[in-house]
Structure 1
Amino acid sequence: MCGIVGAIADRDVVPVLIEGLKRLEYRGYDSAGIAVLDGDGVRRVRRTGRVSEMEAAARAEGVHARLGIGHTRWATHGGVTEANAHPHVSFNELAVVHNGIIENHDEMRGRLRDAGYAFESETDTEVIAHLIHHHQKAGEDLLAAVQAATRELTGAYAIAVVSTRDPGRMIAARMGCPLLVGLGEGENFIASDVSAIVQATRRVIFLEEGDTAEVTREAVRVFDDAGAAIEREVHVSDVSLASLELGPYRHFMQKEIHEQPRAVADTIEAVIDNNGFSAELFGDHAADVLAGVEGVQILACGTSYYAGLTARYWIESIAGLPCSVEIASEYRYRRAVANPKHLVVTISQSGETLDTMEALKYAKSLGHEKTLSICNVPESAIPRASRLVYYTRAGAEIGVASTKAFTTQLVALFTLTATLAKLGGRLDAAQEAGFVDALRHLPGSVQHALNLEPQITAWAERFAPREHALFLGRGVHYPIALEGALKLKEISYIHAEAYPAGELKHGPLALVDAEMPVVVIAPNDSLLEKVKSNIQEVRARGGEMFVFADADSHFGESEQVHVIRTPRHVGVLSPIVHAIPVQLLAYHAALARGTDVDKPRNLAKSVTVE
């Protein structure tokens, strides 16, 4: 993986390809390349490093064409080298770009070597190029060759292919990885993400599992996994160019942190307009799906998993339903005991997270029919595979480290909690009005937390030289400590771990000394006095503490204890407000250390491989 773009037009497509790759940089990558067709065959430019380096090389070489494909690669098979960068070619006649992992590439490599093909890279993708070329040599046209080759592949893939033997078209195919076709006037496009082509068109077709698409300047034809021509709906994307621009901010992560009041307000708009909670907020037939729910099973990865952990406290305490939360990549490989009366909730910012998608398929295979996805990208794969969906209206999230997606996921999960409580007779009118009022005031509380940025910036200067940190929380705020630790290590590369504060004396306390900063989430809730006791344990060992406390929690400062006071305690929604300062701490610590905030090393935004 990571990003694909392709174009066929009556104009030079090289600027389109390069602009598309730049807009895909947020997904994370370590090399970039383009391949175009000219009169002499396939012309290819690849570079490790940033797209700008590849762009400079293409400009220096004078590359122009009316058909081409491009790719940003995040290494899976083989190291970060130019030889392993995409596109990959076969006999200078065919080029392919690929997201995903081909599981039977070793077997295919042996067969193709026996057929006379030499391999120049360590990648699984080069197998695809040679396999398609092999079918073309047997007399098949490019469409038939791609369809035949994909039937032999095991694994996940999104591919775009061009060939000198068939120079008037591109072929695209997908299985397990997202891919779409963009529709223009006298020109058409292929991309893994609409942001790559939004400068040219907003009209897109989302390819389904097993689809193959034939793309020419004049037309697009789509075929299902059986090879039959099929009509796929045309969507008009609401992604705007403005949402993809940095504006006055230094980084997209900073921009997205500051967009959270608006993102939260947009996500709760349906609840406010409805003046309460109802099944209809989650889509057609939601009342039937949510009726008789006896428990909730949440499946997610990374930041979305921590959102699920927060929701478990809400669902069990407010809705009175048992709730389990599992990492999707673990759930999909264990023998789970299914209860068809449990609601399966999948959470994914992109809606394309492979492990989460596969976990959903596994849950459905076990007999789970009550399925709900919480997602930020309309028409993505996971919502399409779920009975119900709640969209987090966060807008485009470009930074690899998720921020506004996390807080809006929490809003969606709280909305689900209150709805389940109401359907189960555990939420009376007064409580419902109180929850709606709390949501109405939430964007303001988030803004108040953002106003703490200058104080947090000063803290970050103290964090920057450190190599380790501990985060502590209790109850519903423990997952916020987990998220804070994840953010810090993701973008600043400071090793950070999070623990329930009560677990300190069961091991982690051995790590505490003057060089180990300890971040404490300490809202003014029923566990505050317990947290204060845990702080004394750290203080007695010479540890330096950085405490995020509510304005009314009566924390005293000292040389060892630094306190930043967030807004007055906002009750059940407090985890959402306390997520803001830990995001800001991570951002400013990374800034002080000089790391690449939006594109941290080794990470990708949309994880579509296992």
Structure 2
Amino acid sequence: MSRTAAEIAAQPACWRRAAEAAAVFEGLPQPGERVAVTGCGTSWFMALAYAALREAAGQGETDAFASSEFPRGRSYDRVIAITRSGTTTEVLDLLAALKGAVPVLALTADPKTPVMEAADAVAVLDWADEESVVQTRFATTALAFLRAGLGPVPGVKPVAEAAVDAELALTEPLPEAAATAEQWTFLGRGWTYGLALEAGLKMREAAGAWTEAYPAMEYRHGPISITGPGRVTWVFGPVPEGLAADVTRVGGTLVAHGAADPLADLIRAQRLAVALAESRGFDPDRPRNLTRSVILS
């Protein structure tokens, strides 16, 4: 078993621990605060998902930005930075600029890194750290931590129930059509759009796969032109009315696990990325051209 596969399998336990940690952590945003969430790559996609969840929970305006694109002139009550390594240049540069101007909460996996001094509060999720370059369990654990800190969110399962769905996602066979496809388009709405982006990234990172990701209702506005025989449209969360028929009409295959928590469904996409990488002779633990952290000189 690759390291990545083992880290994927650890996610249900990590999520449960994250929910317990969030229940006693001081430093999470308060209802009514105007919040910005930031990160790079996978962390940015988790930021997008959390921002949508927080607004769905009615807790206040929440924006998400890639750290390199953060609008530093805007006013926020709190900023959340997600950085597994704690050393990413764009994140640290941003936090240096925000120092003293706005409270910053950082989520990291490594307490021996510069982010510990750059942020006002730090949630160390070191039990979810990874040896693999590709992020899987840290990213979802960070989102589970933030999600649990929101309390009830309409239409969204508690993290404990998501962990149960995750255990099933680890044991069920992958959809055969997805495992043998030549192209994958991932779709989501609201908070699951961030998950769709992350699924596409995992497939590209680990296996060099041809993937796309879009808001689900944008699918008909161009992306459907890619769909056809041997190609998969994978929806996180409920499938919009009429979309399944549209996929079938053009010869594509729809993959959806609507009853499962969408974060658990992301585990299936992670597993697919590893399986595809191994079938192509790639090392899913060490994708080409990537490092654990981007540190710019």
Counterpart for residue 354 of structure 1: 89
SS at match of 2:268: helix
Q: Counterpart amino acid of 1:546?
A: V
Residues 20-53 of structure 1, C-alpha deviations (whole Å, 9 max, x = no match): xxxxxxxxxxxxxxxxxxxxxxxxxxxxxxxxxx
Q: Counterpart amino acid of 2:83?
A: S
8 Å CA contact retained: 1:460, 1:589: no
8 Å CA contact retained: 1:394, 1:404: no
CA RMSD across the alignment:
2.5
Q: Counterpart amino acid of 2:180?
A: R
8 Å CA contact retained: 2:177, 2:232: no
2:113 to 380, 392, 401: 380
8 Å CA contact retained: 1:267, 1:393: no
In 1, the alpha carbon distance for the partners of 2:159 and 2:269 equals: 21
Counterpart for residue 504 of structure 1: 219
Change (3 A) 1:263 1:330: same
Change (3 A) 1:415 1:598: same
8 Å CA contact retained: 1:293, 1:342: no
Measured after TM superposition, the shift of residue 532 of structure 1 is 4.1
Counterpart for residue 491 of structure 1: 206
Measured after TM superposition, the shift of residue 305 of structure 1 is 0.7
| 1:262 aligned onto 2:262 | no
Change (3 A) 1:292 1:264: closer
| 1:446 aligned onto 2:166 | yes
Measured after TM superposition, the shift of residue 297 of structure 1 is 0.7
Counterpart for residue 543 of structure 1: 252
| 1:304 aligned onto 2:48 | no
Q: Map of 1:116-127 to 2, 5 A cutoff?
A: none
Q: Counterpart amino acid of 1:263?
A: C
Identity %: 27
- After alignment, is 310-319 or 392-401 more displaced? 392-401
Q: How many residues align?
A: 295
Can you give the 5+ residue segments of structure 1 that lack an aligned partner in the other structure?
A: 1-249, 272-276, 419-430, 551-565, 567-573
Change (3 A) 1:544 1:315: same
Change (3 A) 1:609 1:537: same
Counterpart for residue 132 of structure 1: none
SS at match of 2:37: strand
| 1:598 aligned onto 2:274 | no
2:174 to 456, 470, 478: 456
SS at match of 1:413: helix
| 1:417 aligned onto 2:156 | no
In 2, the alpha carbon distance for the partners of 1:316 and 1:457 equals: 33
In 1, the alpha carbon distance for the partners of 2:118 and 2:149 equals: 19
Structure with bigger helix share is: 2
Measured after TM superposition, the shift of residue 597 of structure 1 is 1.1
- After alignment, is 345-354 or 385-394 more displaced? 385-394
Structure with bigger strand share is: 1
Measured after TM superposition, the shift of residue 497 of structure 1 is 1.0
In 2, the alpha carbon distance for the partners of 1:461 and 1:319 equals: 38
Residues 361-387 of structure 1, C-alpha deviations (whole Å, 9 max, x = no match): 2233xx633110011112321132111
Query: RCO (CA 8 Å, sep 6+): is it higher in 1 or 2?
Result: 2
| 1:607 aligned onto 2:294 | yes
8 Å CA contact retained: 1:390, 1:412: no
Counterpart for residue 96 of structure 1: none
In 2, the alpha carbon distance for the partners of 1:360 and 1:309 equals: 18
In 1, the alpha carbon distance for the partners of 2:18 and 2:89 equals: 25
In 2, the alpha carbon distance for the partners of 1:400 and 1:544 equals: 31
Counterpart for residue 234 of structure 1: none
Counterpart for residue 232 of structure 2: 517
SS at match of 1:590: helix
SS at match of 2:289: coil
In 2, the alpha carbon distance for the partners of 1:293 and 1:352 equals: 31
Q: Counterpart amino acid of 1:608?
A: I
Residues 402-434 of structure 1, C-alpha deviations (whole Å, 9 max, x = no match): 11011101112113434xxxxxxxxxxxx59xx
Q: Counterpart amino acid of 1:368?
A: A
Q: Map of 1:188-227 to 2, 5 A cutoff?
A: none
Counterpart for residue 268 of structure 2: 581
Measured after TM superposition, the shift of residue 451 of structure 1 is 1.4
| 1:315 aligned onto 2:54 | yes
Measured after TM superposition, the shift of residue 298 of structure 1 is 0.9
Can you give the 5+ residue segments of structure 2 that lack an aligned partner in the other structure?
A: none
8 Å CA contact retained: 1:470, 1:498: yes
